[in-house]
Amino acid sequence: MVEDDVLAAARARAKEVGVAPIGSGCGATLRFLASLVDAATVVEIGTGTGVSGLWLLRGMRSDGVLTSVDLEAEHQRLAREAFKDAGIPSQRVRLISGAALEVLPRLTDGHYDIVLCDGDKTEYPSYLDEARRLLRSGGVVAFDNALWHDRVADPAQRDPETVAIRELGKQVAEDETLVPLLLPVGDGLLLAQKR
């Protein structure tokens, strides 16, 4: 997918501050997903500089609200700049600075259409627990980097991130309340719809 100037600028800012944003293929997939489920409420773990948020907002309903959580206030400032450049009204974006596992428990149960997880990879299994609670029936949780640079499929890879993502894959596959799909887009996008 060809990205416009606003996305290109957000991607350039990400490079400047050392953030790895989602690729354009993942972004287009998220935009499509947000449109498909007619998303009005989305939670994003890992604001970065706003690349994934821009893609999601472009697929959401025109009155939809993105709640984005990130530890880095500076990243969120850059994301806010990207949203402003895109002409997105400020009331459509709620940025919360803090650790995801401290913020997520304060969000409303069964209220969200999509939960995008692109934060600390070692916390992915815990993000899944929170997403199950946060999603409405029919809502979708998405995990970026589900292939983790092709390390997940290699049993010899035992670093904490790879082990956590591998465990997440098992949890999703074994959970009868979820309908899973692993897309080989970017570094892997794992989706699961809550029944």
CATH of the domain at 52: 3.40.50.150
Question: What pLDDT was estimated at residue 9?
Answer: 97
| Range 174-177 contact pairs with CB under 8 angstroms and sequence separation of 24 or more | 175/132, 177/132
Residue pLDDT, tens place only, 150-179: 999 999 999 999 999 999 999 999 999 999
The whole domain housing 68 covers 5-194
Instruction: Give residue-wise pLDDT tens across range 111-145.
Output: 999 999 999 999 999 999 999 999 999 999 999 99
The total domain count for the chain is 1
Q: Distance between alpha carbon 102 and the CA centroid of its chain, in Å?
A: 17
Q: Greatest CA separation found in the chain?
A: 47
| Contact by Cβ (8 Å): 83, 13 | no
Residue 128 neighbours by CB under 8 Å, 6+ apart = 117, 141, 143, 168, 171, 172
Is residue 2 over pLDDT 90? no
